[in-house]
Amino acid sequence: MSTVTSETLHSQAYFDDPFGVWEQLRHEQPLFYDSIDDRWLLTRYDDVTAVFRDHAVYSAKPYERIFTDVIGPTMVQMDGKDHDVRRSIVAPVMVGRTLEQNYQPLIDTVVAGLLRPLPATGEVDLIGSVTSPLPLKVVATMLGMPESYDAYLHEVAAEVIAALAGVEPAKSAGRDKHTEFAQQIDALITDRLATPTSDLISGIAHGRSESGEQLSRDEIASFISLLLVAGGETSDRALANFWYVLMTEPEVMAAVRADHSLLGAAFSEFMRRDGVVVYEDRELTAEVQWHGQVIPAGAIVRVALMSANNDETVFANPRTFDLGRADLNLGPEKRAGGIRDGVANHVGFGLGKHFCIGYHLARAEVISATAALLDRYPALAFLPGQQPRMQVDWFHRHLDHLRVAVSSSPAPSR
C-alpha cells in the first residue's frame, strides 16, 4: 500500500472512497499534515472526541471566517460564555418535548404534503421532490411563514450557501440576500413579541438565559439563516444518503419496512457508518502535542468525523451495517457522547459544547419521511444504469442524484 500524501486527500479516488485511506492513516499516521489545505488531520475516534471536549484549546473560530461576513456572528463560531448563553436561549425550542409536542405533527404534515403529488408508479427524483424541499419547508412552517414563502426561502438558502465560499460576486450577493431576509424576519419578530404563538420565532424572541439575556433581532435573523443553510443542506443530504444506504442494504430495508420502530436504530447506524459531515476544523489557542508532534498555537486541527465513526478499535467490522450493533448507542444522540461500558456514541453530529443543536429536528425529519416513503412505495429501485454516486465534496459526503423507480405495488418475489 502506497504512503498517504497530501495529494491523496485531494484526489478523485479519495473523494469516491475515502475509507481505506482513513484506515491507513489511523494505523500509520494518526496525525497527518495536509500541506495543501494547511491542516493537521486527526482520524482516530479517541483523538477526535478529545478535541471536541477541549473547547478552551480547540476553538470554533474558523467558522467566523465562513459565516460572519455573510450572515453575521452565530453561536457556531463562539466559545465560552458567549456560546453558552446563546445556546441556552435557543435550545429549549429546538429539542426534547417542545419539538415533539409542537413540531412533530408539523413535520408529519409537511412530509405527507410532499409525497402526495408523487406518482404511484414511475420515476421519481427523490432529492428534487422530497429531500431538498423538506428541511426548508419544515423551517418555514416552524417560523409561521405561509406556503408562498417556500420558493423565497430556497432562494435565500441557495444564495447564502454560495456566498460562504467567500468568492465574489457570490459573497456580496449572499450577504445582500441575508440582509433582505433579516428585514422579513424583523417584521415577524415585531409581530410575535406583541402576540406570541407556538412558532419558532416566538420561542426564540421570548427566550431568556438563566441570567435574563436575550438574543438581539440581528442575532435571531442570523440564527434563522444558519438554520436554513447549515441545517437545511445537511438534513437534505442526510435523508438522501440514508435512503440510498437502505436501498443498497436489502436486509435492513426489509427489516425497517416490517417494523418502523427500527428506523431510529437504523438512522443511528447510518450516521455512524456513513453520515454526511466529513470534517470539522478547530483553531488552536495554545500549543499542543499529538503523537509526538508539536503543533503551534494558531494552527488549524481538522478532525475527520467519518473516520472516527469507522475506527475499528471502537466499532467491530465498521463498514458492516449492523442494525443490532452492540458497540453503538442506537438511540437518540447524546451531547456528552464518548464511550461508556463498551457502548460508543457516533460523532456524526459532533460532541460537547458545539454538538449540533438541530440533531433532534434532523432525526425527526429523517424518520418521519422514511416511514412515510416506505408506506407509500412497497417497491423502490435504482434506475437501470443510473445508480447514484456518493462522494466527498468539501466538508460533506453526499449523492450526485437519487432518481429511482417507484411502485405502489409490491415488488415481485424472486
State residue 227's pLDDT score.
80
| Mean pLDDT, the chain, whole residue set | 90
Q: Which long-range contacts (CB under 8 A, 24 or more apart) does 26-31 make?
A: 26/307, 26/311, 26/312, 28/4, 29/4, 30/290, 30/291, 31/290, 31/291, 31/293
Rounded Cα distance between 184 and 148, Å, is: 13
Quick one: CATH architecture of 8-407?
Answer: Orthogonal Bundle (1.10)
Asked whether the beta carbons of 409 and 379 are under 8 A apart, the reply is yes
The structure's pTM equals: 0.92
When mean pLDDT is compared across 34-38, 208-212, 326-330, the lowest value belongs to: 208-212
State residue 250's pLDDT score.
96
| 370: confidence class by pLDDT, cuts 50, 70, 90 | very high
Q: Which residue has the higher pLDDT, 126 or 85?
A: 126
State residue 16's pLDDT score.
97
Q: In three state form, how does the secondary structure of 251-299 look? A: HHHHHHHHCHHHHHHHHHHHHHHCCCECEEEEEECCCEEECCEEECCCC
Rounded Cα distance between 179 and 225, Å, is: 10
Q: What is the pLDDT of residues 110-142, one digit of tens each?
A: 999 999 999 999 999 999 999 999 998 998 888
Is the pLDDT score of 412 beyond 70? no
State residue 373's pLDDT score.
98
Q: Percentage of the chain surpassing pLDDT 70?
A: 97
Is the pLDDT score of 11 beyond 80? yes
Nearest to 231 by CA among 94, 126, 96, 48: 94
State residue 141's pLDDT score.
86
State residue 206's pLDDT score.
86
Q: What is the pLDDT of residues 198-242, one digit of tens each?
A: 888 888 888 888 888 888 888 888 888 888 777 778 899 999 999
Segment 168-190 shows an average pLDDT of: 88
| 411: confidence class by pLDDT, cuts 50, 70, 90 | low
> What residues does each domain of the chain span?
8-407
Is the pLDDT score of 38 beyond 80? yes
State residue 322's pLDDT score.
97
Segment 379-408 shows an average pLDDT of: 93
Q: Percentage of the chain surpassing pLDDT 90?
A: 59
Is the pLDDT score of 78 beyond 80? no
